[in-house]
Structure 1
Amino acid sequence: MIPIPFQLDLKVTSKHLDEQNHVNNLQYMKWVLDISEAHWVAKTPSEIREKYAWFVLDHYIQYKQQAFLGEELTITTWIENYSKVRSERRVHITRKTDGKTIVEARTNWCFIDQQTKKPTRITSEVVKPYFEFESA
């Protein structure tokens, strides 16, 4: 099983900056959540998205470099692994000009039923669009 990465590009604008004139740490967290949502919407049929959702259990984020106004960044995400009701998603943010890693993040998510708001089993139907499955 090989994760299929999903990418978005963006340009740092003044609204992303903090008082030190580099990207605010909270902005990186927002980008982690935004790309996670974009990946879910892009790869999952609406009938599944209407029945199920994801709740964050925890985030782990490492700030490797700073990013500044006008820089172009690539945000890449993939599902690292999953179990019965949990999934680990990775996000890497890199600078396009030099390929340097700006941020590495790991988020653990719980899969829930939209009606009951309780954890529910992650089925093969849910994960199939996110992985290449090796043939035996």
Structure 2
Amino acid sequence: MKPSIFKKRIIVPPSAIDGLNHVNNVTYLQWCLEVAETHWISKTTEKQRSEFVWVVLNHFILYKNPSFLGEELEVQTWIDSHEGVKSERHYKIVRPVDGKTIVEAKTLWCFLDGKTFRPAKIPKEIGELFQ
């Protein structure tokens, strides 16, 4: 089954611009984390979010093109796979006006019990929300 892609559009703010007059590399990572959280919130109940949390195990980011102040970007995310306590989430940031890919990234997340903060197996009902 092909995963559904969650999308969010943003306009590059002045706070994202670095000394080279383009979006700072760390900002792209922040946008990826924000869209992941927004996706999680959009698919889950408040009860589920109080029972379970996620932590990052690692990130991989490929910077393909620069982006600049005032540009509209689309941040896309989807779950590629999940097994046991781990889930691999992918991201793509594109500039809709010319279709250029700005960033491709992925994060390996670990699912935790919200009370003990110990790794917990991803329940079937959670996994199915993102497929």
Q: Specify the TM-score bucket, using the shorter chain as the normaliser.
A: over 0.9
Question: Structure 1 residue runs of 4+, over 3 Å off?
Answer: none
Q: What is aligned with 1:10? A: 10
Structure 2 counterpart SS, 1:70: coil
CA RMSD after TM alignment? 0.7
Q: How does 1:111-130 map to 2 (within 5 A)?
A: 111-130=111-130
Q: Separation in 1 of the partners of 2:97 and 2:4? A: 24
Residues 29-88 of structure 1 show CA distances to partners (whole Å, capped at 9, x for unaligned) of 100110010000001111111100000000000000000011110000000000010000
Aligned-pair CA distance for 1:102: 0.1
1:86 aligned partner, one-letter code: K
TM-score (norm 2): 0.98
Structure 1 counterpart SS, 2:36: helix
Q: What is aligned with 1:68? A: 68
1:62 aligned partner, one-letter code: L
Q: How does 1:94-133 map to 2 (within 5 A)?
A: 94-131=94-131
Tell me how many residue pairs correspond in the alignment. 131
Q: Separation in 2 of the partners of 1:3 and 1:119? A: 24
Structure 1 counterpart SS, 2:69: coil
Runs of at least 5 residues in structure 2 that lack an aligned partner in the other structure: none
Q: Separation in 1 of the partners of 2:66 and 2:41? A: 29
Residues 71-123 of structure 1 show CA distances to partners (whole Å, capped at 9, x for unaligned) of 11000000000001000000000001111100000100000001111000101
Q: What is aligned with 2:39? A: 39
Runs of at least 5 residues in structure 1 that lack an aligned partner in the other structure: 132-136
Structure 1 counterpart SS, 2:103: strand
